Structure 1
């Protein structure tokens, strides 16, 4: 629903004018179906652009100044900002970022009308006027919207004491985990080598105590996380309701119920990020550093292989971040549509029966489910591809380390 407004914002910024999405949304007069090309054109004219909304073929499109706004896939808006001589089209998609398309790919997304030998798509061509340079719209001065995580971590500050206890527990658990490899080594190098069964029993008893201590710390950590996460989740949703209730009635005329419900559901993801993912990242980094030092103390070659494998593992995961971000947006949008369609289906039951349109409405709902399934399938394929590469890299690293370590033991370089 925000794609057209975002495109207009990017066009304005290209010409040195910056406006907030909320301000541009008021100019475009959106509905629950989204933004129309007419609404975008009127808003652009108000800001000082001269616009032409037309059906045009690719040959003529390349003759006009860029950037321009294109109607994409019959349900979306994007910006075309460059055409190369080899028929490469550069698109700025609000939902996917900057993408390059060849001629056939571009036509499959943009062309909407095919008459005889003509293939045409819908475009809004933009050019500047003196009004754009001379306008004194006040909104421009207060555009800069801060995209920061500071407001999120404001919720965490309230429970700093509890988070301190959790972090302390993670550190103690990591240190206890660090001791285990040395205990295992001492069993083999001292207990078995000297055939000292008493020493072996002592070490095993120590391992049991350490394991029980780690388990107790983990239990306490989970209870603290539950205590914190519930309160943070309530605060997030409560603040969302406070902001929602302050909005004018016109806002609810342009928003789907499913979109609002999906945003409420996403607060649980924010909560998980604040209370679990962040701590997990800190714990993983600490563990990585600690065990890297342990490996370096044993053998520099094993440490080097471990570091190279870890860097390759991290690089492989980074390759998928952008695509996962795009799919996450698509999934959010599709889930919002699904929630809205389900809500309408249930609340409009009397109207459906009166109009005798049960089958049509059910087919509409099933069509939305098919679209949702398609996005979930793409997400699963990407996840499996990422996991397959990750497992291969990790296991290959472990195998190489095992071979190198075993060779070092055979040659007497390691115990």
Structure 2
């Protein structure tokens, strides 16, 4: 799983959601997930995720579960999920082994916990992100590159001018 770190304290759920999108096939950076929408000032909420779901063709299911039920769901699906952590944070549950749980914390990265340690932090809520009927995996194209390609396609003279610019820059350096 590609690790995506949060930019500030309020971005933990957004970073987890972005990791899940990347895991499903949308290759997109954190800043592009809500690029067209403005984020609420207090951070991303579960209800706000619903508006993002339509854009990416995914659905979410949130459940209140005990740790034992979480283990059963993981064993049945073997899928990654977003976990509410310490009642104030979100992480991605990446894998559960016999006695260890591997999570990705968007504040610090990948961490292994013993199951007993994990249970101390688990707040009892999990979120599954699923491919919807309208799901189409996409790759993100940086804005600069897409404009650059369009410019070169529309005006071949632009390529000539750009090459002259690079030659001048290399002479100056």
Same-fold call, TM cutoff 0.5: yes
The equivalent residue for 1:71 is 84
Gaps of 5+ in 2: 1-9, 146-173
The equivalent residue for 2:109 is 97
Q: Closer, same or farther in 2 for the Cα pair 1:94/1:23, shift >3 Å?
A: same
TM-score (ref. length: structure 2)? 0.65
Q: The residue matched to 1:141 in structure 2 has which SS?
A: coil
1:20 deviation in Å? Answer: 2.7
- Once the two structures are superposed, the pairs formed by residues 11-410 of structure 1 within 5 Å of their partners are 11-26=20-35, 29-62=38-71, 63-64=73-74, 65=77, 66-84=79-97, 86-111=98-123, 121-133=124-136, 140-142=140-142
Whole-angstrom distance in 1 between the partners of 2:64 and 2:13 = 17
TM-score (ref. length: structure 1)? 0.29
1:78 deviation in Å? Answer: 0.7
* Structure with more relative contact order (C-alpha pairs < 8 Å, separation 6 or more): 2
More helix by share: 1
Q: The residue matched to 2:33 in structure 1 has which SS?
A: helix
Q: State the Cα RMSD in Å.
A: 2.7
Larger Rg: 1
Q: Closer, same or farther in 2 for the Cα pair 1:107/1:18, shift >3 Å?
A: same
Contact 1:28 1:35 in 2 (8 A): no
Q: Closer, same or farther in 2 for the Cα pair 1:23/1:45, shift >3 Å?
A: same
Aligned residue pairs total 132
Q: Closer, same or farther in 2 for the Cα pair 1:45/1:105, shift >3 Å?
A: farther
More strand by share: 2
Gaps of 5+ in 1: 112-120, 146-415
